[in-house]
Amino acid sequence: MSAKVRKCESAKVGAGWILAVLLVAAFGVRDAAAQSLPGAPLALAHGVERDGAARYRDPPIGAQGRYIVVSLQEHRLYLMEEERVIWSTIVGTGTGTRLEGAGQEWDFSTPRGMFRVQRKEKNPRWYVPDWAYIERGERIPDPDDPKRWEEGMLGTTALFVGEGIALHGTNKPELLGQNVSHGCIRMTNEAARMLYYEVEVGTPVFIY
């Protein structure tokens, strides 16, 4: 029986996942304006509040403080402060394709649900998973082989959220706004670095 793995590792859906999906399904985000700087209001389809700050129609239940929302349909990431959108940027997300090889199977979809920023890294190194070697037509090295680590594949900055998924920069910004990744959420290097400074480890990340 083949192992089913998401981008880098497999994710099992439990009761917490089901609750998370119910939460993020309530967001009701619509078309957003172009990228803006932190603190600048965005004009969303549902209107703008009297103080000029864009707000979600249905914020997540119990949302407090700062958190991140990723809309897979819109290919956009929103940095939120309670109900307020304080910044937004275009992103690239998973292709949804599948790959089999070496007795394993991978699904390159960006997972939906509620996550948290586990760690942040500048100039991150990428641990090359088995699927990458299969795509390249190369022999899969041992798990502890130093060749497994590559520089530059995650851009200049990465925020890891678990399940093998990261919010990270890219050296191909022209591909953003599409389903282009193996599950991670890509953005420009400048946007990833800005996000690095604007959120802390433990910040909630809602992907829907």
Domains located in the chain, CATH noted: 3-207 (2.40.440.10)
What does the longest C-alpha to C-alpha distance in the chain come to? 60
User: Per-residue confidence of the chain (208 residues) as pLDDT tens digits?
Assistant: 444 444 433 333 333 333 344 344 434 333 333 333 333 333 232 223 333 344 444 555 566 789 999 999 999 999 998 888 999 999 999 999 999 988 899 999 999 999 999 999 999 999 999 999 999 999 999 999 999 999 999 999 999 998 889 999 998 999 999 999 999 999 999 999 999 999 999 999 999 9
Residues 106, 111, 114, 117, Cα dihedral to 10°: 70
- β-pairing, 125-127 vs 149-151, is antiparallel
pLDDT at 175: 92
Beta-bridge partner residues of 159: 120, 167
- Rounded CA separation 185/176 (Å): 10
In this structure, is the dihedral angle defined by the CA atoms of residues 67, 71, 77 and 78, taken in order, positive or negative?
Answer: negative
Q: Which of 116, 103, 76 is nearest to 92 (CA)?
A: 76
Question: Tell me, what's the pLDDT at 84?
Answer: 87
What residues are paired with 167 via a beta bridge? 159, 185
